Amino acid sequence: MKKLPILVAAMLATLLMAGGNFAPNLSPVEEIGTPCKAEKVYIQEDADLMWQDQLYTDAEAGASKRNKSIGKSGVWRHAEAYCRDLDYAGYSDWRLPTSDELQAVHRIHGQVFTYFRDTDFWTSTPAQAGRHYVVYPADAYVYEQKSSRTNYIRCVRCLHKGDTENGPVPVK
């Protein structure tokens, strides 16, 4: 008989601590929209160049490791076509950079790109038959690589095309 009052007391204590069907007054939750991913570029004024500075995706990283082509990662022919067909930041005159251009931008002190990779990037500069030059960003050195290998891609465009009486005219 002594066990019954103890059991009832324990059940009441559990219900009181659990809060029952109580709805506290919480502050309203703010709706979070999808964050905008601005089309970023890096302007290299001394060279009169605009560089694509776009997020590299997991799919592109995976393609690079498996020697496949997707987006900003691929074999040399894919890289050339990717830049030629790119419509980014309001411009459609992108191209694959030369080895000198890519080497120069990676020799600038500090990391100039918001989105970067620590592996080779294609250039448009041909090497021996079946090979093109790549630039390794960490040391800005140029290396020959088979055109059938997968590397990352960063496109570039000339910032100004021709001059007028009022100065250079941006190409759109």
- pLDDT tens across 88-128, in order? 999 999 999 999 999 999 999 888 999 988 899 999 999 99
How many CB atoms within 10 Å of residue 12?
10
For residues 107 and 140, the answer to whether their CB atoms sit within 8 Å is yes
Residues comprising the chain, all counted: 172
Residue 61: closest CA among 119, 137, 102, 148: 119
Residue 140 lies in a domain: yes
Per-residue confidence (pLDDT) for residue 160, from 0 to 100: 79
Residue 102 lies in a domain: yes
Mean pLDDT of 127-154: 95
How many structural domains is the chain composed of?
1
Mean pLDDT of 146-163: 87
Residue 116 lies in a domain: yes
Cβ contacts of residue 162 below 8 Å, gap of 6+? 168, 169
Residue 90 lies in a domain: yes
CATH number where 137 lies: 3.10.100
Which structural domain range is residue 161 located in? 40-170
- Is pLDDT above 60 for 32? no
Residue 94 lies in a domain: yes
Question: What is the Cα–Cα distance from 148 to 130, expressed in whole angstroms?
Answer: 8
Residue 29 lies in a domain: no
